[in-house]
Each structure stands twice: as C-alpha cells, then as structure tokens.
Amino acid sequence: MGTWALAGKALILVENLSVPFDRRVWQESLALRDAGWEVHVICPQGTKRDREPYVELDGIRIHRYPLTAAVGGPLGYLKEYGSALWHTYRLARRIGPVDVVHACNPPDLFFLLARRMKKNGAKFVFDQHDLVPELYLSRFGRGEDFLYRAVCWLERRTYRTADVVIATNESYRAAALARGGKRPEEVFVVRSAPTVERFRQVPPDESVKRGKPHLLCYLGVMGPQDGVDYALRSLAKLRDELGRTDWHAVFVGGGDTFDAMVALAAELGLADRVEFTGRIPDEDLLRYLSTADVCLSPDPLNPLNDVSTMNKIMEYMAMSRPIVSFDLKEARVSAGDAALYAPANDESQFAKLIVRLLDDPEERRRMGELGRERVAGPLSWEHSRAALVAAYAAAVAPVPSGGSVPRPREAAAGVAAPGVATLAAQPRQRPVQGKDGQVTPPVQRTDPAPLHQRHEGAQLEPALGGGPAQLGELPVAAPDPHPPVQVGPDGPGRVDN
C-alpha cells in the first residue's frame, strides 16, 4: 500500500517542550506532512520563543497553551499536569476528529484523552521519549515510594491503551515488549537523530578558547540526572590531579540546575576556566562545536541514563567531534568508536580520557570522522522517518476479520532487577532497574478523502475519559559518592529532553 492511501489527520500532543523547539517532534511532524498527513500539534507556549497561541509553520498547525512549570514538589506537578491536560482537551475539541492521536511523554497521562478519542475512531500512538519510572528514580532519589508506584501504573495504562508504541531505541523497545506486553509488530524504533544539514562545520573561532590551546564543550540540558556536576568535578581533577591547564570549557544549554552548576564551578575554583552560555542561537552553537577539540557526555550511570539515547552524543557526531562519555549501554550503541568510555561515574578516569584526546590530534580526527559517518549513515534521520511512517501504517491498518489477536502473556524481552536472574517477564513487570531551514512545502493530497472525514458524525465528547530485542540484566553501579544535586526548596522544574 502506498503512502497516499494512509494519509489522514494526525494530532501530536506534547507537554514538556514547545514546538518547533522540540526538535524530535518537529522532525516527526515534517516527516508525516511529507507522507501526506494533515498534522496538528498541541503543546505549551515557550518562555522566550514559540509564544504565539496558534501558528502554521511549513504546513504544520501548532496550537499552544500557557503553562507554568512545576514548583513546590508533587503538588506543583499535579497543578502543572492538570492544567496541561485541560488545555490539551480544550484545544483537541476545537481541532475535531482525527485519525491518529500521537502522544509524547513525559508525562504518561495522555492516555486519558486518547481513550475518549479512540471511541470516536482514532488510533493511539504512544511516542515514549522517556521511561518515566526510571526518570523518577534517577531524578528524585526517593526510591520505590507511592509516587513511583503511581508512575508505574500510569505507564502500564498508557501501554495498554496504545495501538502502536514508538520507542527511541532498542532498550525502550524491549521495555515496551516486556513490561508493556506489546507484540513485536506493535513497537517501532524511531531513533532521535540530528538533521545533518543543520549541523554543519563553520570556520573555527579561536577567540572562544579564551587564549588556551584547547576547547572542551558540553551541549545539552542541565538537570539533576544530566551529569554536569560530574563534568565539573572531572575538570577540577584534570587541573589538580593531572596538572593540565591548557584548556577552556564551554557549557551550552540551560535547565533546572543551571544556577547550581555555576555555583559549583565557582566552588571548585573553575570560574575562570568554565563558561556557561545558557541557550544560544544555532549560529553561535555551530561556532563552539566547530572549534571544540573534545566534547563531553558526562551523564552518570543510573536507571534512566543507561538505556536512553543522548541527543548530545548524536549532535557531537554530526559535527565530527570526538567524545568522552561514561560507559553506558545506549551511549555505546549510539557513538560506537566515536567515543572513549570511562568506567561508570569515575571522574578521574573521565579526566584521563580527556587528556588522551587532547594529546592525540590524529585520534580526534579519526573519531570525528567515524561519528559523522554514523549519523549520516546507519543512524540517520532518513531511517527513522521510514520507521515513523511504518508505525502510522500499522496504527491505521484495518483489524483482521475475527477481531484483534490476543496479546501473549509471555514478554518478548526479559528485564531483571539488579542481581536477579532474567525471568520470563509479564506485561505488568516492574521497570528496568540498575545501570542502567529550507523546508519543502506541504505535500498536496491526491486521495479522494482523508480518513478522518470518513468518521461520520464523530465528535470528541466533552468528558475525559524489527524482532524482539533483549534488554537483559543490568549491572549495578558502585555507590555514588556524590549525592543528587539539590536545586532549592521549590524542587526541580520541568524535564527538558
């Protein structure tokens, strides 16, 4: 069946970032548009950009609502998510019937809307950006308390409601198969990948090195689980234990712990060697990355990071930069030989690997070329685009005569708790534990009528209602000598991912 026969009306729901600032959602929207879909996106307004309540960009209809980030702990999140659900529901009613509702987490709450929309003929695609139970464990350090059990329940309900699950990597796919009870043909891997055209080399700018021979660069979110504190302590060891002062470091990005990281740099005596830029325009980002000698991916080993694909790694490779990372499962899958890997959370070894690359320009060049080849080849967005279109095809495919096939109770992938042998997993199994722009114009439809027009009289009611991959047993990290970063009495803000 050709793509045109699949064209219909898709509604993408996002809560934790505005669009098009959320690059993954924007890439998905454009890919669906090019496949003949009419694409609507509901998302929050940004704080400094993406402020219009409604805008049509490159054929994508974007509906935005005001949202205040959570403060004050769990009650703050309850207020934020309640507000987001209400605004999303309100805007979805205005948009009208759709063929596919495509929900991006976190949070795992959009199944509440999807269940009502499914009654009117829509199919539900769950785009799992994060494993929220692992995110909770890694971010808050509260253990398996009541709120942890609640997010596990919400994830199970989301899996159960979904017709199709989109996973960002094979580890997430394995979780959907094991604890989500999904069949292999219901789960598609759509890896996040940078658009190579956006990440292009520009002439190096020696001024950003601040008079030093070498530039180190970090790009990404600065949250409690992102390891900026590990990077800073590694840089202090680079100076104090290894005697290297021939470098300047730039940290690009923002997040909940930005101010805390600036303070930590000062406490470590790095204020004159480390520069925090906040979020910056693309042209400035390209200058820094084109000048950098080594790029840093200091995400520590925790239940979430070990099985998550880090966008920063993909973007470093798109810019042909060598990488130093901690040894995480999905970091190796993404970077391969384009990175050097320090033992998990070992800051001294991380610093030694930085020295190794600073002293070997030929190795830096070789690793950079390998990385660029990976994002232009096997990890390119073109492969993900095809998987996305295939996921939509599966979602809207007619149900075989005789009804749906019962899901097998045996999971297709085993996920074990630390120190426990891998057993046959059940759909309700607990989460993974342990270590873890020139854009072409919209495509014009040639089919006689989009699918949503065939739902005669359907209206949203005014009430809410690949083969299997093995994740395997995950080893346990050594005790962390550094407690989680404290971000103040108001608690952490939203997750930027």
The amino acid occupying position 39 is V
Query: CA 16 to CA 107: how far, in whole Å?
Result: 8
Contact indicator for 415, 429 with CB cutoff of 8 Å: yes
> Bigger pLDDT: 421 or 286?
286
* pLDDT of 383 above 50: yes
Least confident of 32-46, 149-163, 220-234, 418-432: 418-432
* pLDDT of 48 above 60: yes
Contact indicator for 213, 473 with CB cutoff of 8 Å: no
> Bigger pLDDT: 448 or 347?
347
pLDDT at 402: 54
Mean pLDDT value of segment 205-213: 97
Query: CA 193 to CA 335: how far, in whole Å?
Result: 12
pLDDT at 401: 58
* pLDDT of 454 above 60: no
Q: Which DSSP state fits 394?
A: H
H/E run at residue 188 = strand 187-189
pLDDT at 68: 87
pLDDT at 139: 84
Least confident of 234-248, 366-380, 440-454: 440-454
Query: CA 106 to CA 135: how far, in whole Å?
Result: 9
* pLDDT of 419 above 90: no
Residue 71: pLDDT band (50, 70, 90) is confident
CATH number 3.40.50.2000 is the correct assignment for the domain at 3-193+381-473: yes
| Domain spans, the chain | 3-193+381-473, 206-376
The pLDDT mean for the chain works out to: 83
* pLDDT of 311 above 60: yes
pLDDT at 399: 72
Mean pLDDT value of segment 36-40: 97
Residue 448: pLDDT band (50, 70, 90) is very low
Helix/strand/coil for 136: helix
State how far the alpha carbon of 66 is from the alpha carbons of 52, 76, 93, 359, in Å.
Answer: 10, 15, 17, 50
* pLDDT of 472 above 60: no
Residue 478: pLDDT band (50, 70, 90) is very low
Among positive and negative, which fits the CA dihedral 192, 193, 199, 204?
positive
> Bigger pLDDT: 300 or 438?
300
Contact indicator for 415, 424 with CB cutoff of 8 Å: no
pLDDT at 400: 67
The string of pLDDT tens digits covering residues 77-122 is 889 999 999 999 999 999 999 999 999 999 999 999 999 999 999 9
Mean pLDDT value of segment 441-448: 36
> Bigger pLDDT: 493 or 302?
302
How many C-beta atoms surround the C-beta of residue 489 within 10 A?
Answer: 8
* pLDDT of 306 above 50: yes
Mean pLDDT value of segment 456-465: 32
Name the nearest CA neighbour of 27 among 386, 397, 393: 386
Q: Do domains 3-193+381-473 and 206-376 have the same CATH topology?
A: yes
Among positive and negative, which fits the CA dihedral 258, 278, 21, 388?
negative
Instruction: Please state at what angle helix 381-396 crosses helix 23-34, rounded to 10 degrees.
Output: 60
Mean pLDDT value of segment 344-351: 98
The whole-angstrom distance between residue 13's C-alpha and the CA centroid of its chain comes to 15
Contact indicator for 278, 254 with CB cutoff of 8 Å: yes
State how far the alpha carbon of 275 is from the alpha carbons of 13, 94, 350, 370, in Å.
Answer: 35, 46, 20, 28
pLDDT at 109: 97
pLDDT at 47: 86
* pLDDT of 19 above 90: yes
* pLDDT of 35 above 50: yes
Query: CA 387 to CA 190: how far, in whole Å?
Result: 6
pLDDT at 36: 96
Residue 244: pLDDT band (50, 70, 90) is very high
Mean pLDDT value of segment 380-406: 83
- CATH code assigned to 206-376: 3.40.50.2000
Instruction: Please state at what angle helix 111-118 crosses helix 146-161, rounded to 10 degrees.
Output: 30
Residue 72: pLDDT band (50, 70, 90) is low
Contact indicator for 169, 335 with CB cutoff of 8 Å: no
Contact indicator for 33, 58 with CB cutoff of 8 Å: yes
Residue 196: pLDDT band (50, 70, 90) is confident
Q: pLDDT > 90: what percent of the chain? A: 71
Mean pLDDT value of segment 378-403: 88
The whole-angstrom distance between residue 302's C-alpha and the CA centroid of its chain comes to 16
Mean pLDDT value of segment 269-283: 95
Mean pLDDT value of segment 147-167: 97
Helix/strand/coil for 445: coil
